[in-house]
Chain A
Amino acid sequence: MGAFLETLIGGLMAGMLYSLIALGFVLIFKASGVFNFAQGAMVLFAALAMARFAQWVPQVIGVQDKLLANAIAFVGALALMIVLAWLIERLVLGRLVNQEGITLLMATLGITYFLDGFGQTLFGSDIYKLDVGMPKDPLFMFQNVFQGGILVSKEDLYAAVIAAALVAVLSLFFQKTATGRALRAVADDHQAAQSIGIPLSRIWVIVWSVAGFVALVAGIIWGSKLGVQFSLGLVALKALPVVILGGLTSVPGAIIGGLIIGVGEKLSEVYVGPMFGGGIEIWFAYVLALLFLLVRPQGLFGEKIIDRV
């Protein structure tokens, strides 16, 4: 029972991180109808920027306080992501208005490649440590319930709290602010939103900036856990099934989908994996999403797509 719960909690934590990346997908898809394949590259780019800035700030400006240096690096990386969002809107999306979804998808594939190359040319391609003061020591819980208790990494707990806070802030932003309302209007209907005077291009910049911000947070959490390296970008491929499962247009869907995938992955790896020779983590999420697509193409919480195929 203890081992089962440990796997379950491990899965939930991993799922939380998938959710964070999936959130970026959903935000952009809702607001601009673009399936942003580049979200993973954005995570990598943001994490690289953060890691390098945190290294450079003490050297160049001479700020020795670690918290302050990290804060400056965070602001710098965020500014970089906003510039990136603006450039993407200006150079890519603005010129592909009214194109089919598939063309936009391929364009984001191009952005992915560009960002992968650009980030590594600019910031170097080694593995960087990212230390934002997340505690590394493990935590034993329920020691009085089970023999030996359950091992939970404190880092994961912090990450989960941060992710939950991020989701709360984002939903407040979407529900309560004027910009959030404008974003939802654009998501509902581009033309109608434009005709009542909502500037589409600015909305897109905002949405990509928010996605950049989410990518930065996800990148910091993943990066402090695993180190900032190229494989971070591949984590985003794990987030694709999450959005399919949860529904492309639903923020809660991204969260719950992420949790399901995270838990399912870990549990299946431990309990079903040995039957197939192990390593089924790689495709489990995808096959789950594939089966889901056959039964319920809009996902758990997505809007029903009325579309003849």
Chain B
Amino acid sequence: MLYRENGQFKTSYRADQQIFPIVQDRIAIALLLVVAAVVIPWTAPEYLFRAILIPFLILSLAALGLNILVGYCGQISLGTGAFMAVGAYAAYNFTVRIQGMPLIVALLLGGVCATAIGVLFGIPSLRIKGLYLAVATLAAQFFTDWAFLRIKWFTNDSLSGSVNVGGLQVFGWPIDTPVQKYLFCLAFVVVFALLAKNLVRGHLGREWMAIRDMDVAAEVIGIRPVYAKLTAFAVSSFIVGVAGGLWGFVHLGSWEPAAFSIDRSFQLLFMVIIGGLGSVMGSFFGAAFIVVVPIFLDQALPALGSMVGLHIDTATVSHIVFMIFGTLIVFFLIVEPHGMARLWSTGKEKLRLWPFPH
């Protein structure tokens, strides 16, 4: 009853083309932001920040970056972990080697380095596509895994590539407690989500989507494939790189190359598939799902098992999580290739028409 757009007339192009054309959506998003920025920091327990909220925010940022590449431009990448690693280690090097480097600048510069590496490994996409490209991006993954483990210069001569950062601060405010970390990540995510949304609905995003849908036709109507693909790689790996920097600096604090292994790449790809290919909103759904489900199962499965008299240890739970993710991937690919984002919009459509079916 409440979700109606009757009577909301647009009198200018500006009003017609805004991100959320329906008043109720704007109210909902504003409420969500208020809850995220004001209510949660006051009320949520510390565990929630550490285990769920901060990983969720950072991983949804990374998933957003990957979604630009895979969902919008149709170029599959299995090397997301590599670009995260480049972002994190580059930001680390900037902080260590340059005295008084501000945190935000270091993270953004890390993103710039990730962009360079992303474009470099994106060059094969000009000649190959599909599964061949997947192998090319895997090369990026294995190469960076090795580089950060073995080339001592990148890790400031630390053993086994493990580095740590401490005493983070922005404009003199320390980023120390979970709440501060959470707010810091939230700010990044909001800014980048807005940027990404505007990019994908602008001319660049339309070029990407044209390339994704049919590259030959896109070329015929005057889209340069080289430019479109490389910008997609650049933007995607920039966002992923920044997310990598946040993951290392804010979430982990100290990390080694294994934090950005191939499992991370697959995890992010799963987020994008489950959440919804080609949808900004979907990246958030996917990240939330993949962060929360293992934690939920960790708690629920042993309890369920003891009810029927079975003892389920944590190793088994992690295997069952694998099984569930695998099944869900296949399920979503078959039943709803556009992921949870499509379910969400179907639900909204239903709500608009409710209680009448047409």
A residues touching B (Cβ–Cβ < 8 Å)? 35, 91-92, 95-96, 99-103, 105-107, 109-118, 120-121, 125, 237, 240-241, 244, 276-280, 282-283, 286-287, 289-290, 293-294, 297, 307-309
Contacts and interface: CB of A to CB of B under 8 A. Distances in A.
A257 to B, nearest CB: 13
Contacts, number: 142
Contact of A277 (B151, B225, B319, B320): B151
A92 B331 CA distance: 9
Given A241-B135, A277-B150, A286-B139, A293 B333 contact: no
Interface residues of A, dominant DSSP = helix
A109 B266 contact: yes
Interface residues of B, number: 51
Contact of A117 (B125, B270, B321, B334): B321
Interface string B133-155: 01110110011011001111000
Contacts of A294: 124, 127
17 contacts: A103-B333, A105-B131, A106-B333, A107-B330, A110-B328, A111-B326, A116-B322, A117-B326, A120-B315, A121-B316, A121-B320, A244-B132, A276-B150, A286-B135, A286-B138, A308-B219, A309-B129
A113 B293 CA distance: 15
Nearest to B323: A117
Interface of B: 74, 76, 124-132, 134-136, 138-139, 142-143, 145-146, 149-152, 215-216, 219, 225, 262, 266, 269-270, 273, 315-316, 318-330, 333-334, 337
B333 A110 contact: yes
B311 to A, nearest CB: 14
Closest 8 CB pairs of A and B: A117-B322, A114-B326, A110-B329, A113-B326, A117-B323, A286-B139, A110-B330, A283-B142
A72 B134 CA distance: 39
Contacts of B266: 109, 113
Contacts of B76: 102, 105-106
A283 B146 contact: yes
B322 A283 contact: no
A237 to B, nearest CB: 7
B322 A114 contact: yes
